[in-house]
Amino acid sequence: MNKFKYYFVLLIAGIAIVSCNKSNDDDTVIVPLRDYAEQYKADNDSIEKYLKTNYIESVTADLDIKISKIPAGGAQTSIWDQSTYKLASRDVYSDGITYKVYYLTLRQGSGVSPTNTDKIFASYTGTLLNGTQFDSSYGTAGTYNLFPYATDSTVIQGWSEIFPMFKTGTPSAPTGDGVITYTDYGAGVMFLPSGLGYYSQTQGSIPAYSPIVFSFKLFNLQRADNEYTVSSTTGQRVFVGDGIPDYLEDINHDGFLYDFRDVTKYPSPPASLIDDSDGDGIADFVDFDDDGDGYSTLFEVTKPTDAPFSGLSKYYPYNPVLDNPNTPNYDESEIWGVPRRPTGALTDPTKPESVTNPKKYVPEDYTDPTRLRIYLDKTYPLQKN
């Protein structure tokens, strides 16, 4: 099994990288904007030519890949034609067009996949189609926020669209000096059109309108809860969450969440991409009231102060949680998850159900895997007549 060592403190602190910044006042030059559809056609032609005229020269035990150009008269099998590593693509809707993004899977990974709004712990190397390397973090992995509207987001859109296709690795326990070893982490290569990269920006040694290539390794992730307000004094986004992590607000379970209020970037989004339970135009992962019943999601997932439920958390977890064996001094057990509308006996069976005569909760209301959780149920809490 392959291993990658790093210091645990990096997972918490994170490292921002200049090369993946969406802008840098010192070395970014803006040139006249081209039509996205026309530029994508040119980029896709260039990427497909690259895939058909370059080959995988080597892949090390640590999944470091070397890609080289097939020499004149060479018999090497191109990336396009080889079958050792799967070359796949996914459609990405952005800028009013649908991009076809190619990516190569060196290894899927053994853990879980991030959404395109989570934070990831990863390493990478970036090159142009001519083979010029413009940046690399191999040997020093860092934490990167895939959510483009986050204040600490430092990545291009292409990362957010491809990393969710891979899975994290399996971590060892930290050694005495804080070193963690990862095995079976996801690794691959993404081939990005400029519209999902830096597009019209000249970024360091990357010319404007350049397709770019990233080889990468995905070690770990941090789940995000991205509901935010906007500060009246600074105008900056303040991320407060609603108690439900983004990946659990992915209603269509495709691993991707989009804020389609950005009509410039998403003028006509396909219905299949929308994760909006109450149809108010605000995706659940940035909606403080997912079911539109007038009660915030956070209010609805907060445990009653007098509830005889296990666990120290103030909020219901999405599902029951087992104790973490790596923290012997703490019991994180939560035997109840977010409940559905109660289905037990009425408080007073001689009267109809009402806000003053609710039904009682039964254990199945917290554990039934098919339950409609109360923060998605417009009929609860009961409304006063």
Span 35-76, pLDDT tens digits: 999 999 999 999 999 999 999 999 999 999 999 999 999 999
- Paired with 181 in beta bridges are 5
Instruction: For residue 213, give the H/E element and its range.
Output: strand 212-222
State the pLDDT at residue 20: 44
Rounded-to-integer distance, Cα 373 and Cα 149, Å:
28
State the pLDDT at residue 140: 86
- Which tens digit of pLDDT belongs to each residue from 286-343? 999 999 999 999 999 998 877 666 677 888 999 888 888 878 888 888 888 999 999 9
- Which tens digit of pLDDT belongs to each residue from 75-98? 999 999 999 999 999 999 999 999
8 A C-beta contact, residue 164 and residue 114: yes
8 A C-beta contact, residue 214 and residue 187: no
- Measure Cα distances from 329 to 12, 323, 355 in Å: 22, 11, 41
* Domains defined for the chain, CATH in brackets: 4-222 (3.10.50.40), 239-288 (no CATH), 295-385 (no CATH)
Largest CA distance in the chain: 89
What is the chain's alpha carbon radius of gyration, rounded to the nearest angstrom? 24
Residue 79 makes CB contacts below 8 A (sequence gap 6+) with: 50, 51, 52, 54, 55, 56, 67, 87, 104
8 A C-beta contact, residue 180 and residue 171: yes
Q: How many residues does the chain have?
A: 385
Residue 91 makes CB contacts below 8 A (sequence gap 6+) with: 98, 99, 100, 101
3-state class (DSSP) for residue 54? strand
8 A C-beta contact, residue 9 and residue 178: yes
The model's pTM is: 0.87
Q: Which pair of tokens denotes residue 193?
A: 């059109």
- Asked whether the bond before 325 is cis by omega within 30 degrees of 0, the reply is no
8 A C-beta contact, residue 78 and residue 70: yes
Higher pLDDT residue, 231 or 18?
Answer: 231
For residue 1, name the pLDDT band (cuts at 50, 70, 90). very low
Q: Is residue 9 scored above 80 in pLDDT? A: no
Residue 83 makes CB contacts below 8 A (sequence gap 6+) with: none
Q: Is residue 384 scored above 70 in pLDDT? A: no
- Which tens digit of pLDDT belongs to each residue from 120-151? 999 999 999 999 999 999 878 999 999 988 87
DSSP3 helix / strand / coil % (the chain, rounded to 5): 15, 25, 60
Q: Is residue 202 scored above 70 in pLDDT? A: yes
Q: Which pair of tokens denotes residue 315?
A: 């909020």
Place of tokens 């990167």: 144
In degrees to the nearest 10, what's the CA dihedral of 51, 56, 61, 64? -60
